[in-house]
């Protein structure tokens, strides 16, 4: 009987050790993750709460810290995204590349309903680490998803970093949920705080700073990174918490704080309009209006707002960040000139054909694509020129900035040639997810992705000198050339160095803009 018992012990011991390796104790709980099925050298902790659930009486309040806990949890399934509506309108993302949407395996990308994979109880994050990182001191990238402050979340197929972490084995990626649309930016008269989604992001960053060392991360080496709405948010943070950013560097990928705010409803009429249609008609009693709206199901609220916008009804409803002069400000250049901006390095980027995915979608003639001159005008006005002006503001404030333009036009990510390097497409390069859905891609695509990943990791390791040691110069206002910009994925080259005037000269009337360099 001794031999079988010894044999059983030998078999059980590795399993126990492995499970212990996948269990991490934090201040707020004990979490057991899993090894990624496709990349077994990567540990994933897919659902870790970072704040109390914003439900019932806590709906539309700032995120509340979690108490200390020794309770055990399995973190092996992705959490629901924060409550959001899936538009029924034809769009590039809904009809051609839905892999940029949240996905539970069954989502309809043009449902015209609140997303099945979303919920109010959503303030969670996910952590990806090398399998052997439990005692390391690795740099951490905290990623905030885009979605126009209306959609987005952790479980977005093109934004899962397992292959990248597997490739490097030397960094950690954290992705977060934060409240969006009317649930995250209500602008209700009865509230003291309106920009709740931004406060959610800060709460997640604070949780990561406090607990990431348990996962093998260095709390002093966090890079705050976002794309689109997440990119704008990242820049917001550098002003809102300029004296205590927590992160030691930022990466704003398509969008900055200088992008004009959509929401200028300082009389709170949008929220009151929705409340009235929910049966909460208290136009002169903000407290009663808010209390009543907290009793309405989130599905009713989301579907009303979403279907109202899908129908093109007027007056238009907007629930996005609004200048409150506490978290969001109305004059960022003035604040930067006063030094009220974090003294941390930043990468700022754009895609060459940025606006094509956001322009009216030609659903009746998909192969022809939209009107390119109109796309170019929106790319310049809403994206590239905003980044260019932000670079100047940061330069004048003495803040180090690195710039890049992504120009790859790879058919497995851009199924129609007119799409080119559209808004969000460079995420597939950063995360290494470009081969996941429409073929493995080309050698140039692979090389471009690896080069972009290597630069980002060098920046995370050493934001002050890491990129310059690799030959990437910081942005400077050199006479006549508009500064230095990296270009990725164009002309058969993974990378090349170009002048700012070549990329953004059209912002100042110098030459014409080329969306397909």
User: Is 397:477 a contact under the CB 8 Å cutoff?
Assistant: no
Which pLDDT band, with edges at 50, 70 and 90, does 273 fall under? Answer: very high
- Asked if pLDDT for residue 259 goes beyond 50, the answer is yes
**Mean pLDDT, range 90-115, rounded to an integer:** 88
The Cα–Cα gap between 149 and 193 comes to 16
User: Is 236:199 a contact under the CB 8 Å cutoff?
Assistant: no
Which pLDDT band, with edges at 50, 70 and 90, does 105 fall under? Answer: low
pLDDT digits (tens, 9 = 90+) for 204-253: 999 999 999 999 999 999 999 999 999 999 999 999 999 999 999 999 99
The beta-strand segments (E) located in 294-352 are 346-351
Residue among 67, 321, 7 at smallest CA distance from 182 = 321
Instruction: Extract the tokens encoding 69.
Output: 């806990």
Burial track 200-224 (b if 16+ CB lie within 10 A, e otherwise): bbbbbbebbbbbbbebbbbeebbbb
The pLDDT, as a whole number, for residue 141 is 98
Percent of the chain with pLDDT over 90: 87
Residue 248, classed as helix, strand or coil, is coil
The whole-model pTM stands at 0.94
The pLDDT, as a whole number, for residue 479 is 56
The pLDDT, as a whole number, for residue 471 is 93
Distances (CA, A) of 37 to 28, 78, 166, 279, 502: 27, 14, 12, 48, 44
**Span of 7-16, 454-463, 476-485 with lowest mean pLDDT:** 7-16
pLDDT digits (tens, 9 = 90+) for 327-368: 999 999 999 999 999 999 999 999 999 999 999 888 788 898
Which pLDDT band, with edges at 50, 70 and 90, does 83 fall under? Answer: very high
The pLDDT, as a whole number, for residue 110 is 87
- Active-site residue among 120, 289, 302, 354? 354
Residue among 199, 191, 386 at smallest CA distance from 294 = 191
Residue among 144, 195, 147 at smallest CA distance from 322 = 195
The pLDDT, as a whole number, for residue 476 is 86
User: Is 302:84 a contact under the CB 8 Å cutoff?
Assistant: yes
Phi and psi at residue 24, to the nearest 5°: -125, 130
**Mean pLDDT, range 259-281, rounded to an integer:** 94
- Cβ atoms within 10 Å, residue 135: 7
Characterize the bridge pairing of strands 484-488 and 495-499: antiparallel
Rg of the chain taking only CA atoms, in angstroms? 23
**Mean pLDDT, range 164-193, rounded to an integer:** 97
Phi and psi at residue 469, to the nearest 5°: -65, -25
- Active-site residue among 83, 109, 163, 228? 228
Which pLDDT band, with edges at 50, 70 and 90, does 20 fall under? Answer: low
Which of the 8 DSSP states describes residue 383? Answer: I
Can 495 be counted among the known catalytic residues? Answer: no
Helices 269-277 and 286-293 pack at an angle, to 10 degrees, of 50
Distance of CA 386 to the CA centre of its chain: 18
Query: Who's near 286: CB < 8 A, 6+ residues apart?
Result: 188, 189, 190, 268
The Cα–Cα gap between 461 and 139 comes to 6
Sign for the CA dihedral angle at 338, 339, 342, 347 comes to: positive
Instruction: Extract the tokens encoding 246.
Output: 């927590």
pLDDT digits (tens, 9 = 90+) for 184-204: 999 999 999 999 999 999 999
The pLDDT, as a whole number, for residue 332 is 97
The pLDDT, as a whole number, for residue 16 is 34
**Mean pLDDT, range 17-39, rounded to an integer:** 88
Can 107 be counted among the known catalytic residues? Answer: no
Domains, the chain: 17-508 (3.40.50.1820)
Can 354 be counted among the known catalytic residues? Answer: yes
Distance of CA 85 to the CA centre of its chain: 18
Report the run of H or E that residue 114 belongs to, with start and end. strand 113-114
pLDDT digits (tens, 9 = 90+) for 377-434: 999 999 999 999 999 999 999 999 999 999 999 999 999 999 999 999 999 999 999 9
Residue 188, classed as helix, strand or coil, is coil
User: Is 247:272 a contact under the CB 8 Å cutoff?
Assistant: no
């Amino acid at each position: 009987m001794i031999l079988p018992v010894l044999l059983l012990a030998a078999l059980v011991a590795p399993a126990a050790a492995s499970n212990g390796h996948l269990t991490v104790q934090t201040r707020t709980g004990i979490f057991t993750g899993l090894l990624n099925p496709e990349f077994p050298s990567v540990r994933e902790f897919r659902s870790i709460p970072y704040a109390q659930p914003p439900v019932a009486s806590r709906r539309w309040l700032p995120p509340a810290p979690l108490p200390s806990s020794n309770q055990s949890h399995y973190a092996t399934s992705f959490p629901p995204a924060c409550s959001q509506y899936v538009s029924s309108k034809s769009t590039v993302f809904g009809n051609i590349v839905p892999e940029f949407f949240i996905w539970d395996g069954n989502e309809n990308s043009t449902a015209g309903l609140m997303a099945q994979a979303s919920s109010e109880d959503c303030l969670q994050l996910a952590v990806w680490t090398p399998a052997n990182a439990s005692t390391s001191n690795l740099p951490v990238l905290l990623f905030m998803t885009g979605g126009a402050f209306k959609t987005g979340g952790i479980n977005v197929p093109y934004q899962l970093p397992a292959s990248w972490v597997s490739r490097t084995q030397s960094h950690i990626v954290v992705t977060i949920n934060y409240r969006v649309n009317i649930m995250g930016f209500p602008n209700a008269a009865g509230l003291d705080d309106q920009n709740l989604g931004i406060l959610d992001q800060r709460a997640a960053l604070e949780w990561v700073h406090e607990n990431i060392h348990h996962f093998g991360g260095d709390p002093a080496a966090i890079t705050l990174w976002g794309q689109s709405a997440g990119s704008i948010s990242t820049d917001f943070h550098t002003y809102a918490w300029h004296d205590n950013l927590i992160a030691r560097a930022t990466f704003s990928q398509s969008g900055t704080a200088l992008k004009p705010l959509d929401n200028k409803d300082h009389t709170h009429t949008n929220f009151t309009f929705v409340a009235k249609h929910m049966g909460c008609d208290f136009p002169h009693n903000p407290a009663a209006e808010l209390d009543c709206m907290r009793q309405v199901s989130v599905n009713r609220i989301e579907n009303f707002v979403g279907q109202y916008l899908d129908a093109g009804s007027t007056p238009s409803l907007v629930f996005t960040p609004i200048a409150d002069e506490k978290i969001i400000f109305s004059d960022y250049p003035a604040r930067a000139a006063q030094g009220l901006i974090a003294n941390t390095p930043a990468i700022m980027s754009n895609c060459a054909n940025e606006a094509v995915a956001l322009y009216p979608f030609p659903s009746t003639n998909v192969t022809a694509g939209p009107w390119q001159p109109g796309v170019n005008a929106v790319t310049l006005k809403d994206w590239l020129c905003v980044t260019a002006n932000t670079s100047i503001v940061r330069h004048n404030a003495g803040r180090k900035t690195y710039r890049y333009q992504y120009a790859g036009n790879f058919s497995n990510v851009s199924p129609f040639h007119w799409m080119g390097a559209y808004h969000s497409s460079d995420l597939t390069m950063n995360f290494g997810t470009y081969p996941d859905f429409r073929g493995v891609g080309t050698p140039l695509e692979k090389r471009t992705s690896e080069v972009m990943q290597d630069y980002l990791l060098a920046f995370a390791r050493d934001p002050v000198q890491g990129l310059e040691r690799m030959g990437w110069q910081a942005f400077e206002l050199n006479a006549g050339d508009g500064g230095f910009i990296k270009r990725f994925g164009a002309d058969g080259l993974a990378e090349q160095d170009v002048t700012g005037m070549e990329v953004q000269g059209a912002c100042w009337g110098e030459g014409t803009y080329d969306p397909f360099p």
